[in-house]
Amino acid sequence: MLYREAGQFKASYEEDQQIFPIRQDRVGMAVLLAFFFLAVPMFASQYWLQAILIPVLIFSLAAIGLNILTGYAGQLSLGSAAFMAVGAFGAYNFMLRIDGMPFLLGIVLGGLSAALVGVAFGLPSLRIKGFYLAVATLAAQFFIVWALVKFPWFSNYSSSGVISAQEIQILGYAFTTPESKYLLTLAVVTVFALVAKNLVRSTTGRRWMAVRDMDVAAEVIGIRPMRAKLSAFAVSSFYCGVAGALYAYTYLGTVEPEGFNLDLSFKILFMIIIGGVGSILGSFLGAAFIVLLPILLNVVMHSTLGSAMPPGLGSNLELIIFGGLIIFFLIVEPHGLARLWQLGKDKLRLWPFPH
Amino acid sequence: MMNEMAQTATLPESGRRIGEVILDLKNISLRFGGVKALTDISFDVREHEIRSIIGPNGAGKSSMLNVMNGVYHPQEGTILFRGEPRQQMDPHMAATQGIARTFQNIALFKGMSVLDNIMTGRNLKMKTNLFQHALFWGAAQREEIEHRKKVEEVIDFLEIQSIRKTPVGRLPYGLQKRVELARALAAEPTLLLLDEPMAGMNVEEKQDMCRFILDVNDQFGTTIVLIEHDMGVVMDISDRVVVLDYGKKIGDGTPDEVKNDPDVIAAYLGASH
Ligand SMILES: Nc1ncnc2c1ncn2[C@@H]1O[C@H](COP(=O)(O)OP(=O)(O)OP(=O)(O)O)[C@@H](O)[C@H]1O
Ligand SMILES: [Mg+2]
């Protein structure tokens, strides 16, 4: 099938506004969805579902959250993991303390708790920018994890703050198998990705980007930077919160506050740097890349070096490759893998006549 | 060429009537620490006119514009907008009152396309909220389409159809200036403040920009305050001109009056010609 838009004319603004204006992209997306919703649960092994696909999806969601704040609204944050923690512990407590709390509502309430906390910690963004804001979000990162450990109420007085997620039930159906948990995660993430795409292609998204690109000009055309920034903090933290809740419920089952540490925040930041700052697609690519790279590296080294592999080489090599890639993307291609993908498509669109 | 255009603008059949005073600045003084940017400046702007501000570098022209739309707050003086005195005003309030502007140093949203930049210019007219945007289909989409139509009119008007989807960062300087004008026009302003819209342009681009400014003024009746260094352009298209020098007003009147004012000749025209 040729990748062409020739002959596809847009007769209305409605058609021009579509998420995928080119027909081949729409078909591609439909095939992709069918593959992940139908083929994968039928054929993928439990290991793939539970250890790779579910975390990739959850991290994609968190990366979308951070991308909304950093990529679209231009506010750097190092607190993503902490907002995930609020979502996880929020959902846990809502389901624990309110009888008959439906699972999906519990997840949403967890996300809303994270949104509230996110707005509170976003307040400094009204006065400070860049590096200083990053430090302020770092404070959020440490404070939230500390508070979750310090006040045992949050973990229902369990030892060392570990919580065990309740069984997931929706309309009487229990999600216990990896297949069902995968499908549930996939459905939630698909809906949220679509919503994110809707937000960034409408006035809300344009306001975020305007404040990111030139806040004085934004104000002069009537945008309130304060509202734009705080709404970005709210939506971003909501996404991270929902990702955190899924992290506890469909991925790990048991989590502790320390699991949502600064390392995880950085991991999500690296996902958007490698995947693409300011791109929903990039959030998926970055998450997949960062989850898959260590696994791939491991496989390659075991098959080449076998038992001769010195211990620790794998994790060191991983750090070196990550470091190199991050420097590469920051300097050479700040829009990440998503941009490389786009460039490839643009080439294909003109191929074989590049002029 | 310039003269022809100036004539069309002032012909009686153009339908343009200079009206009441809409912006009245009285005894404005603005200081930055010890620097006196503006000292005791008074002048007014009438509806539908093209009012230019000229003066050497550092005279305080941009500061004056910033006072008009609330970016700077003068320490002294009063401002009447449509007869209402205003004390403190921020740029957002100015925008809601129908004041739009462009900047001396282009202030476009670099990461966005031309279309999105211009659509952003309509943000005050957009009434749907974040939750409706999240769903998109329905009210948000209807609004988006309705405003897209208006934006397309602006795009046609400024003849930038071919660059609609281009990221603004990739455009040459002259076109960026034009997109910035488009973004301001998208708000359908009653008062348009232009800070050196032709600076750094070649002759052809300048002529286009002149034509657009005159057309905006003529077709939409938009009142325009223009800062410009090119005397030929200023004398051709302005109805009245204010001359600033070292933060003080040294001349005010029709282009002919200003041209023949001995103070102005001494302080400004004499220096540059
Ligand atoms: N934000 C500010 N802070 C401090 N000083 C300022 C500020 N804005 C303007 N000034 C000072 O006020 C004076 C007038 O500046 P302004 O930019 O208004 O001049 P201008 O007439 O627009 O000059 P140009 O033709 O170079 O654009 C200058 O001395 C300038 O340094
Ligand atoms: Mg200036």
ipTM score of complex: 0.90
B233: how many CB neighbours lie within 10 A of its CB?
22
Q: What is the pLDDT of residue B156?
A: 96
> In which domain, by residue range, is B119 found?
106-187
Q: What is the pLDDT of residue A306?
A: 73
pLDDT per residue as tens digits for the range B249-271:
999 999 999 999 988 888 765 55
With an 8 Å Cβ cutoff, are A222 and B128 in contact? Answer: no
Q: What is the pLDDT of residue A323?
A: 87
Torsion angles phi and psi, residue A221, rounded to 5:
-95, 15
Q: What is the pLDDT of residue A315?
A: 79
Give which of A191, A220, A227 to mutate to test B binding, by max B Cβ within 10 Å. Answer: A220
**Going along chain B, which residue ranges are E strands?**
21-32, 35-46, 50-54, 76-81, 84-86, 99-102, 191-195, 223-227, 240-245, 248-253
Please indicate, yes or no, whether residues B245 and B177 belong to a single structural domain of this protein.
Answer: no
Crossing angle of the two packed helices A262-275 and A54-66, in degrees rounded to 10: 80
Torsion angles phi and psi, residue A15, rounded to 5:
-70, -35
Q: What is the pLDDT of residue B7?
A: 40
What's the structural domain count of chain B? Answer: 2
Torsion angles phi and psi, residue B86, rounded to 5:
-130, 140
Crossing angle of the two packed helices A203-213 and A178-200, in degrees rounded to 10: 70
With an 8 Å Cβ cutoff, are B133 and A205 in contact? Answer: yes
Question: Whose CA is closest to atom 28 on ligand 1?
Answer: B58
Q: What is the CA radius of gyration of chain B?
A: 19
Q: Token pair of A75, please?
A: 């506010």
- Element at A174 (helix H, strand E): strand A173-175
Partners of B226 in beta bridges: B52, B194
pLDDT class of A351 with cuts at 50, 70, 90? low
Q: Is residue B252 part of a domain?
A: yes
Q: Which of B266, B53, B69 is nearest to B184 (CA)?
A: B69
Cα distances (Å, whole numbers) of residue B72 to B15, B21, B66, B69, B99: 35, 22, 5, 8, 15
Please indicate, yes or no, whether residues B202 and B94 belong to a single structural domain of this protein.
Answer: yes
Cα distances (Å, whole numbers) of residue A164 to A120, A256, A263, A283, A352: 28, 9, 22, 28, 57
Torsion angles phi and psi, residue B37, rounded to 5:
-80, -40
Q: Is residue A222 part of a domain?
A: yes
Q: Is residue A21 part of a domain?
A: no
Torsion angles phi and psi, residue A124, rounded to 5:
-60, -25
pLDDT class of A354 with cuts at 50, 70, 90? low
Would an 8 Å CB–CB cutoff place A304 in contact with chain B?
no
Q: Which of A121, A112, A114, A155 is nearest to A140 (CA)?
A: A121
B4: how many CB neighbours lie within 10 A of its CB?
9
Residues of A in contact with B141 (CB under 8 A): 14, 17
Q: Is residue A19 part of a domain?
A: no
Task: State whether the Cα torsion A306-A312-A314-A316 is positive or negative.
Answer: negative
How many helical (H) and strand (E) elements, i.e. helices and strands, does chain B have? 12, 10
Nearest-Cα distance to chain B for A87, in Å, is: 20
Please indicate, yes or no, whether residues B201 and B259 belong to a single structural domain of this protein.
Answer: yes
Exposure string of B188-200, with b = 16+ CB inside 10 Å and e = fewer, is bbbbbbbbbbbbe
pLDDT class of A25 with cuts at 50, 70, 90? confident
What's the structural domain count of chain A? Answer: 1
What number is the average pLDDT over the span B95-102? Answer: 95
Please indicate, yes or no, whether residues B46 and B177 belong to a single structural domain of this protein.
Answer: no
HSE-CB at B153 with a 13 A cutoff on CA atoms is 13
Between A11 and A175, name the one with better pLDDT: A175
pLDDT class of A247 with cuts at 50, 70, 90? very high
Please indicate, yes or no, whether residues B182 and B81 belong to a single structural domain of this protein.
Answer: no
Please indicate, yes or no, whether residues B82 and B110 belong to a single structural domain of this protein.
Answer: no
pLDDT above 90 (res A3): no
Would an 8 Å CB–CB cutoff place B101 in contact with chain A?
yes
Q: What is the pLDDT of residue A353?
A: 64
CATH number at residue A271: 1.10.3470
pLDDT class of B186 with cuts at 50, 70, 90? very high
Averaged pLDDT score across all residues of chain A: 91
A195: how many CB neighbours lie within 10 A of its CB?
18
pLDDT class of A1 with cuts at 50, 70, 90? very low
A141: how many CB neighbours lie within 10 A of its CB?
24
Q: Token pair of A276, please?
A: 């693409």
Between A112 and B260, name the one with better pLDDT: A112
Residues of B in contact with A338 (CB under 8 A): none
What number is the average pLDDT over the span B83-101? Answer: 89
Q: What is the pLDDT of residue A72?
A: 97
Please indicate, yes or no, whether residues B193 and B272 belong to a single structural domain of this protein.
Answer: yes
Last residue of a domain, one of B155, B187, B219: B187
Question: For residue B33, how far is its CA from the centre of ligand 1 (angstroms)?
Answer: 13
pLDDT above 80 (res A10): no
Q: Please list, in sequence order, all residues whose beta carbon lies within 8 angstroms of the beta carbon of residue B34, skipping any fewer than 6 positions away.
A: none
**Residues near ligand 1 with C-beta < 6 Å?**
B 32, 35, 37, 55, 57-63, 104
The owner of tokens 């006065």 is A127
Q: What is the pLDDT of residue B154?
A: 97
Q: Token pair of A210, please?
A: 């305007």
CATH number at residue B206: 3.40.50.300
Averaged pLDDT score across all residues of chain B: 90
pLDDT above 90 (res A301): no
Q: What is the pLDDT of residue B271?
A: 53
CB nearest to B121's CB, from A16, A221, A278: A221
> In which domain, by residue range, is A88 found?
43-350
Q: Is residue A230 part of a domain?
A: yes
pLDDT above 50 (res B272): no
What number is the average pLDDT over the span A290-318? Answer: 81
pLDDT class of A123 with cuts at 50, 70, 90? very high
Q: Please list, in sequence order, all residues whose beta carbon lies within 8 angstroms of the beta carbon of residue A113, skipping any fewer than 6 positions away.
A: A86, A87, A90, A241
Please indicate, yes or no, whether residues B155 and B227 belong to a single structural domain of this protein.
Answer: no
pLDDT class of A16 with cuts at 50, 70, 90? confident
Q: Is residue B2 part of a domain?
A: no
Question: For residue B62, how far is its CA from the centre of ligand 1 (angstroms)?
Answer: 6
Identity of residue A198: N
Cα–Cα dist A164/B269, whole Å: 80
Identity of residue B241: V
The owner of tokens 């210019």 is B121
Last residue of a domain, one of B130, B156, B187: B187
Nearest-Cα distance to chain B for A130, in Å, is: 17
Q: Is residue B243 part of a domain?
A: yes
pLDDT above 90 (res B86): no
Q: Is residue A146 part of a domain?
A: yes
Could you tell me if B7 and B235 are in contact, meaning their C-beta atoms sit under 8 angstroms apart?
no
Cα–Cα dist A89/A254, whole Å: 11
pLDDT per residue as tens digits for the range A190-240:
999 999 999 999 999 999 999 999 999 999 999 999 999 999 999 999 999
Would an 8 Å CB–CB cutoff place A11 in contact with chain B?
no
Please indicate, yes or no, whether residues B64 and B144 belong to a single structural domain of this protein.
Answer: no
Please indicate, yes or no, whether residues B93 and B194 belong to a single structural domain of this protein.
Answer: yes
pTM, two decimals, is: 0.91
Cα–Cα dist A107/A104, whole Å: 5
pLDDT per residue as tens digits for the range B4-21:
444 444 444 445 678 899
pLDDT class of A2 with cuts at 50, 70, 90? low
pLDDT above 50 (res A93): yes
Q: State the DSSP string of A22-83.
A: SHHHHHHHHHHHHIIIIIHHHH--HHIIIIIIHHHHHHHHHHHHHIIIIIIT----S-HHHH
Please indicate, yes or no, whether residues B143 and B176 belong to a single structural domain of this protein.
Answer: yes
pLDDT above 90 (res A116): yes
Cα–Cα dist B257/B31, whole Å: 30
pLDDT above 60 (res B273): no
Question: Any idea which of A9-13, A100-104, B42-46 has the lowest mean pLDDT?
Answer: A9-13
Cα–Cα dist B267/B247, whole Å: 13
Would an 8 Å CB–CB cutoff place B98 in contact with chain A?
no
Establish, for the pair of chains A and B, how many residue pairs have beta carbons separated by less than 8 Å: 110
Please indicate, yes or no, whether residues B124 and B161 belong to a single structural domain of this protein.
Answer: yes
Q: Which of B239, B103, B116, B124 is nearest to B188 (CA)?
A: B124
Nearest-Cα distance to chain B for A225, in Å, is: 10
- Element at A143 (helix H, strand E): helix A130-150
Could you tell me if B258 and B241 are in contact, meaning their C-beta atoms sit under 8 angstroms apart?
yes
pLDDT per residue as tens digits for the range A62-92:
999 999 999 999 999 999 999 999 999 999 9
Q: Is residue B3 part of a domain?
A: no
Q: Is residue A132 part of a domain?
A: yes
Last residue of a domain, one of B157, B187, B217: B187
Q: Which of A167, A189, A170, A192 is nearest to A92 (CA)?
A: A167
Q: What is the pLDDT of residue A19?
A: 84
Ligand lying nearest the CA atom of residue B60: 1
Between A51 and A332, name the one with better pLDDT: A51
Ligand lying nearest the CA atom of residue B35: 1
With an 8 Å Cβ cutoff, are B130 and A216 in contact? Answer: no
Question: Whose CA is closest to atom 16 on ligand 1?
Answer: B60
Cα–Cα dist A73/A80, whole Å: 15
Between B17 and B182, name the one with better pLDDT: B182
Cα–Cα dist A139/A136, whole Å: 5
With pLDDT > 70 as the criterion, what percentage of chain B qualifies? 91
What number is the average pLDDT over the span B60-70? Answer: 95
Q: What is the pLDDT of residue A6?
A: 61
With pLDDT > 90 as the criterion, what percentage of chain A qualifies? 70
The owner of tokens 């309509």 is B122
pLDDT above 50 (res A341): yes
Question: For residue B114, how far is its CA from the centre of ligand 1 (angstroms)?
Answer: 29
HSE-CB at A126 with a 13 A cutoff on CA atoms is 12
